[in-house]
Amino acid sequence: MRILVVGGGTGGTIVANNLARRLAPEIRAHKASITLLSASDRHMYQPGLLYVAFGQMMPDELYRDQASLLETCIDFHVDPVEQFQIDQNKVKTESGKIHEYDVLVIATGSRTMSRKIPGLTEGAETFYTEEGAVKMFKKLRDFEGGKVSIVVGVPHKCPIAPVEVTFSLHDYFKARGIRDKVEIKYNYPINRIHSIENVAKWAKPEFDRMGIKYETLFNVEEVDVENKVVKSMEGSEDHYDLLISIPEHHGMEVIEKNDLGQDGWIPTDRYQLTMEGHDNVYVVGDTTNLPVSKTGSAAHFEAEVIAENIASIVKIGTPVSEYDGKVYCFIEAGHDKATYANFNYLTPPDLKAANKSMHWFKMSYNKMYWTSVRGLL
C-alpha cells in the first residue's frame, strides 16, 4: 500500500512516524511505503512563539530539521503539493512531480488572514509568526505605559492563546514595575470571554482580580491606524496605544484553490477522520472542519487514530479506531502558573485553579514536544 502524507507539521509528522513503526514488517517486505511531502525542511514548535513574544525564548530554539524527526524508512521530500487530483488518487507538486497513492493523509495546517481586516496588518502586533513575535517583544520593551488592547478573529488556531497572552501581559508589566501605568483591555467576538464555556467561567474572575478590562461581542471591522482606534462590527470603538491581534485563520491556499473545502477547511468525518465522500483520504489537524480546537494536541490525538486505522487496514483490511474529539491544552495563566483543559466531543473541560507545577509541566512539555512529534510519547 502506497501511503502519501502531505504536510510535515505536528499532525503529518506524527502520522508518518507512528505508521512507520506499526508497519515496519510490511515496509521491510515492500508491501507498504510511506512518502511525506512538505513545504519546509524545518519543523517549528509553534506554541513557543508565545514565549518569544515575551523575550523568554529565542526563535532558533523553536526549530529542528524535519528529516531528523522522521523514521528513516519515510521517503521525505520538500516539494509542496500544488494540485490534489483526489478522484485519480494522485497529487502534483510544485516541481512538477506526480505522486500516486492508495491512501492520502492531508495535514497542511492553517494560515493567518489579517489582511481581511483593513488596517489590521499595519496596526496590530501578532505573535503567530516568528517575525511577528520578535517585533511584538520589541514593542513591549519600548512600551512605557498606556492602553494595550487585544482583539480576536475567529476561527483561529490555539483558542487558548487570547487568554494566555492577556495573563502574560499582566505579569510582564508587573515584573517591569509599570503595571499601574498600563491599562489592559481584552476584546472577544462572542457574548462571553472565551468560546469554551468553562474556560470563560474560570478566566473571568482572574481578569477581575488582575484589573483586566474586557468587552464581549467585539468583532473587528477595521483598524484606523493613524488615530489608533479599532472599530467593531457591533459599532463600538476602542482607542489603543498598542494593539495585539489573534487573527482569523483559513486553511492553506492550496486547499481552497483545489476546492477541497470552504476557506481551506476540509469536510471531515468526525469519528473516522476521512474526507467526506473519500474513504482513502484522511484529514488531520488544523485543516479539518471538525468542531474541536485547532491545536497541536488535537492534531496529535487525531494522528494516532489515523495511523492505527491505516495500519489495521493494511494488516486486517478494516479500521479499528475512532476519534472521540480529545483535546488536552495547557493554559499558561501568567509567567509562573498554569492550568489545563482536557475535553472531548461529549465531556467539557473542568478547570482547576492555576498552580506552579502545571506551569513547570508545560515548560517541560515544550522540550518533550520533540519526542512527542516523533510519535514516541
Ligand X SMILES: Cc1cc2nc3c(=O)[nH]c(=O)nc-3n(C[C@H](O)[C@H](O)[C@H](O)COP(=O)(O)OP(=O)(O)OC[C@H]3O[C@@H](n4cnc5c(N)ncnc54)[C@H](O)[C@@H]3O)c2cc1C
What x/- string results for residues 63 through 102 when contact with ligand X is judged by CB under 6 A? -----------------xx---------------------
- Overall residue count recorded for the chain in this entry: 377
Instruction: From 108, 88, 110, 97, select the one nearest 280 (Cα to Cα).
Output: 88
Size of the site for ligand X (CB under 6 A): 37
DSSP 354: P
Q: Is 6 in the site for ligand X (CB under 6 A)?
A: yes
Whether the CB-CB separation of 6 and 107 falls below 8 Å is answered with yes
Q: Is 230 in the site for ligand X (CB under 6 A)?
A: no
Candidates 18, 108, 114, 166: give the one binding ligand X (CB under 6 A).
108
Candidates 117, 124, 158, 163: give the one binding ligand X (CB under 6 A).
158
Candidates 18, 46, 166, 309: give the one binding ligand X (CB under 6 A).
46
Least gap, CB of 31 to ligand X (angstroms): 26
Q: Is 296 in the site for ligand X (CB under 6 A)?
A: yes
Instruction: From 163, 58, 56, 36, select the one nearest 103 (Cα to Cα).
Output: 36
Spatial separation of the C-alpha atoms in residues 282 and 262, rounded to whole Å: 17
Spatial separation of the C-alpha atoms in residues 280 and 271, rounded to whole Å: 15
Least gap, CB of 296 to ligand X (angstroms): 3
Q: What is the DSSP string of 128-178?
A: SSHHHHHHHHHHHHH--SEEEEEEE-SS-S-TTHHHHHHHHHHHHHHHTT-
Q: Is 127 in the site for ligand X (CB under 6 A)?
A: yes
Sole window of 31-39, 172-180, 219-227, 237-245 interacting with ligand X (rule: CB under 6 A): 31-39
Pairing of strands 98-100, 90-93: antiparallel
Q: In the window 252-291, what residues touch ligand X (CB under 6 A)?
A: 252, 254, 285-287
Q: In the window 10-29, what residues touch ligand X (CB under 6 A)?
A: 10-12
Residue, CB closest to ligand X:
9
Torsion sign, CA atoms 132, 50, 374, 64: positive
Q: Which residues bind ligand X (CB under 6 A)?
A: 6-12, 37-40, 46-47, 49-50, 80-81, 107-109, 127-128, 157-158, 161, 252, 254, 285-287, 294-297, 299, 329-330
